[in-house]
Structure 1
Amino acid sequence: MQPSPKLNNNVSFSEEAKGNQLFPVFVKLNQLRTLLIGAGNVGLEKLSAIVNNSHQADITIVAETINPAIIDLVAAYPSIKLKQKTYDASDLKDVDIVFAATANNVLNEQIRAEAHQKGLLINVADKPELCDFYLGSIVQKGDLKIAISTNGKSPTIAKRLKEILNEGIPAELDTTLQNMSALRKTLSGDFASKVKKLNQVTEGLIQPRKSFAERNIKWLIWLSIVLFIYTAGLTLWNTEPEFQSFLINIDPLFYWFLIAGFVFAMVDGAIGMSYGVTTASFSLAMGLPPASASMAIHISEVLSNGIAGWMHYKMGNVNWKLFKILIIPAIVGAVLGAYILSSLEHYSAYVKPVVAIYTLFLGGIILMKAFNIKRKKPGSQKIKNIGPLGFVGGFIDAAFGGGWGSIVLSSLIAGGRHPLFSLGTVKISRFFIATLSSLTFFTMLGGRYWEAVVGLIIGSALASPIAARVSNKISAKTIMVAVGIIVMAVSLRSVVMFILKLI
């Protein structure tokens, strides 16, 4: 049966042929065997185009007369072989692609016919109707390469466009390309999440260049705030004796936790974890009872998790079905954990080593993640027991000062859930958990250790605008190793001190 002259989509071949039907490709000539027939001025032009774009191209040149410039060019490229002879069909043996650059039109047509008999693609100089492919004008900036085609209609237009693009595209764009390649290798998650991250990074390429003030508005705002606070504080110190007396009499605990909140928020911003465990370990080492330490941690996290949850909501990263299943059990677990821990405040001497053992375990997990020591993962089937997972995560988070992300987020991802939507859902859930567990702690304990609470809130707030930049400057592995060792050492000290007291 003869094939229909119509395509499957009912478009005729004559209609289909209208317009530019070329399919752009980039050929690895360094892995193919190329034959160039003709070595005059046109042959020199073809050869130059090939070697300029593929320095290691395997080329054989066949020609009776050879341009001296080609001889000089061949001397610089060992992969080019030169045969001064008359062309015959045997030259097409062991060849992948052919360029005909002779001044003899009859010979060019003969070469094309014999090349097609062997199933070879051919480019015939200055004869678009005889070509299987064209050589476009090339714009190159490092690894970036742009090819321009006019479908053989006007090489002059292609040349002018090449000049425009060469002038308009900065050479520094290749540096951006290399940085993007390095960034791409560090990204985790599925293809969609990688593309989303790379899109965010490259948005600046299509936006107009901003002024210095526009690029640094965030830092200008923070500088203004710092200057205002400094000026107001200095004025009050010099003019109001009551204010001076108030600052002098503040418990030094406030300043310790101010510094700690700043440092731990910076660490959390750099590696995306460990705020709860580092703050809990520090609080216990500073003498805070477990319940008061957990209260300080959760109150300081309300604002930061609210902002993070809102951002994930705006970016559409929240799985609302998962959120509805997770949130109620998580809140119940968090409130119950906060209530039980607060009720045991008078027995903090016995609760403290239990919390220390828990933070010791989390410190070990941080070290494992730093060195990519992977535990056996469950199958790819999605985790089903979301409600119990939320309850356990909320309870442990409140009762031990942290662990919501470590328990719930890692379980969701390991159980086959989408990492990006799991992160957004866990973050926005964390806001409600931190808020309600904080209210429970505050109701049970009142305003105890308010200096620690306020210090953490202010310290973490000051760190938040610069934490993200730190993550690009310091190795995450280095930070995780340091945090893991410090947390384990502090926790182990608390356990040993408790055992020594018993002895």
Structure 2
Amino acid sequence: MAEGWVEFLQTLLPFILVGFGAQIIDGALGMAYGVISSSLMLALGVPPKAASASVHAAETCTTAVSAISHVLHRNVDWKLFWRLMVPGVAGGVAGAYFLSNIDGDLVKPWIQAYLVGIGLWLLWRGFRYPPKPRDARFVAPLGLVGGFLDATGGGGWGPVVTSNLLIQGSAPRYTIGTVNTVEFFLTLAISATFLVHLGWETFTTVTIGLLIGGVIAAPMGAWVARHVPAKPLMIMVGFILTLTAGYGALRSLALIG
């Protein structure tokens, strides 16, 4: 019995560490939990379907707390919320359905390439931080694409949607609050879609580990946000994501051992 528990904890530990690190970064930047978690789990050998399903199941809890906090602090632009939520959920459900019905080995290199792209984008954003203000024009198409990419890549809603809206000139407070509030409904819809198509067996040790690590790290993210400047942190995240996803992509294509 004791040996079984030790083996279970040894299996659980890597995913606790992944959830912990990803939540620290997300708490500081307001984004990147999904893409960091997915990139590291794919590097650990977790199949794309299980990685994305587990990330979104864990995020359902963390985004619920975040959404309640933003609503209570009146950080939500409800007009923007509805413009993002409907197409975002539609894109997320479509992406989860697509990923559930395709061979994981076939799609894995493309997911890794997408994560490399997000990493390079964060690097570019980091070196150009803060962005120049512009008028926000594209909201619904952005929500649709962001939701689809978030489901298929295991993350990306924050980097894609938040970054784009900020670049377009949206107010940071309401942009971050609204996008994070929408994310709860997005992750809930994506998790439900994975549950219908993949079953409960998809949510296993990976999900438990991510939840434990995320819960432990959640209070620390605010401390990191307060003491670490956003620019070097964003550059660091972009570098880590590009490196891990790039390595995974090369392994998926059998270009390295």
Partner of 1:349: 105
Give how far 1:443 is off.
2.1
Q: Indicate whether 1:268 and 2:26 are aligned.
A: yes
Q: Give CA deviations for 1:97-125 in whole Å, capped at 9, x if unaligned.
A: xxxxxxxxxxxxxxxxxxxxxxxxxxxxx
* Match of residue 41 from structure 2: 283
- What's the secondary structure of 2:169's corresponding residue? coil
| 2:32–2:158 Cα contact (<8 Å) kept | no
Q: Distance between the aligned counterparts of 1:449 and 1:329, measured in 2?
A: 26
Partners of 1:476 and 1:320 lie apart in 2 by 27
SS of the aligned residue for 1:250 comes to helix
Shift, 1:249, TM fit: 3.8
1:338 matches 2:92: no
Q: Deviations over 1:163-193 (max 9, x none)?
A: xxxxxxxxxxxxxxxxxxxxxxxxxxxxxxx
| Partner AA of 1:481 in structure 2 | I
Q: Distance in 1 between matches of 2:21 and 2:46?
A: 19
* Alignment match, 2:146: 393
Query: Which residue does the alignment assign to 1:433?
Result: 186
Alignment of 1:473-488 (within 5 A): 473-488=227-242
Instruction: From 415, 419, 423, give the equivalent of 2:168.
Output: 415
Higher-helix-fraction structure: 2
What residue is the counterpart of 1:369 in the other structure? 125
TM-score by length of 1: 0.48
Q: Evaluate the alpha carbon distance shift between residue 256 and residue 444 of structure 1 in structure 2; reply closer, same or farther with a 3 A threshold.
A: same
Structure-2 change in CA distance of 1:352 and 1:431 (3 Å): same
Code of the aligned partner of 2:194? F
SS of equivalent to 1:500: coil
Residue of structure 1 in register with 2:214 after alignment: 460
Shift of 1:439: 1.3
Q: Does 2:60 correspond to 1:302? A: yes
Q: Would the aligned equivalents of 1:358 and 1:400 in 2 still touch at CA under 8 Å?
A: yes
Confirm or deny: 8 A CA contact 2:100 2:197 kept in the other structure: yes
Instruction: Within 5 Å, give how 1:9-24 maps onto structure 2.
Output: none
1:494 partner letter: G
| CA deviation after TM superposition for structure 1 residue 280, in Å | 1.1
Percent of aligned positions with the same letter in both sequences? 35
Partner Cα distance (1:477, 1:498) in 2: 31
TM-score (norm 2): 0.90
SS at match of 1:284: helix
Tell me what 2:13 maps to. Answer: 255
- Are residues 479 and 316 of structure 1, via their aligned partners in 2, closer, same or farther at CA, if it must alter by over 3 Å? closer
Q: Per-residue deviation at 1:412?
A: 2.4
Residue 191 of structure 2: SS of its match in structure 1?
Answer: helix
Q: Which stretch shifts more, 251-260 or 293-302?
A: 251-260
Q: The residue matched to 2:128 in structure 1 has which SS?
A: coil
> 1:445 is matched with which residue?
198
1:245 CA displacement = 4.6
Letter in 2 for 1:416: G
Q: Does 1:424 align with 2:182?
A: no
The verdict on how the C-alpha distance between 1:441 and 1:253 changes in structure 2, with shifts beyond 3 A counting, is farther
SS in structure 1 of the partner of residue 202 of structure 2: coil
Matched-pair contact (CA < 8 Å) for 2:165–2:175: yes
Contact 1:353–1:495 (CA under 8 A) maintained in structure 2:
yes
Tell me how far apart the structure 2 counterparts of residues 429 and 341 of structure 1 sit (CA, whole Å).
21
Provide the secondary structure at the position in 1 that maps to 2:143.
helix
- Report the AA paired with residue 124 of structure 2: M
8 A Cα contact 1:360 1:492, kept in partner: yes
Alignment root-mean-square deviation, CA? 2.2
Partner of 2:81: 323
Distance 1:429 1:448 in 2: 24
Q: Is the 8 Å Cα contact of residues 251 and 451 (structure 1) preserved in structure 2?
A: no
Letter in structure 2 aligned against 1:361: G
Q: Give, in whole Å, the separation in 1 of the partners of 2:222 and 2:179.
A: 19
Query: Structure 1 residue 486: deviation in Å?
Result: 2.2
In the alignment, the residues of structure 1 paired with residue 93 and residue 229 of structure 2 have an alpha-carbon distance, to the nearest angstrom, of: 37
Are the counterparts in 1 of residues 129 and 231 from structure 2 also a CA contact under 8 Å?
Answer: no
CA gap of 1:449–1:431, structure 2 versus 1, over 3 A, is closer
CA distance in 2, matches of 1:350, 1:373: 36
1:7-36 Cα shifts (integer Å, max 9, x gaps):
xxxxxxxxxxxxxxxxxxxxxxxxxxxxxx
Number of aligned residues: 255
* Structure 1 position 475, deviation (Å): 4.5
- Does residue 1:405 correspond to 2:158, yes or no? yes
| Displacement after TM superposition at 1:332 (Å) | 1.1
Q: Could you give the per-residue CA deviations for residues 183-235 of structure 1, whole angstroms, max 9, x where no partner exists?
A: xxxxxxxxxxxxxxxxxxxxxxxxxxxxxxxxxxxxxxxxxxxxxxxxxxxxx
Structure 2 gap ranges (5+): none
SS in 1 for 2:22: helix
State whether structure 2 residue 66 is matched by structure 1 residue 312: no
**Bigger relative contact order, structure 1 or 2 (CA pairs below 8 A, ≥6 apart):** 2
Cα pair distance change 1:330/1:501, threshold 3 Å: same
| Structure (1 or 2) with the greater strand fraction | 1
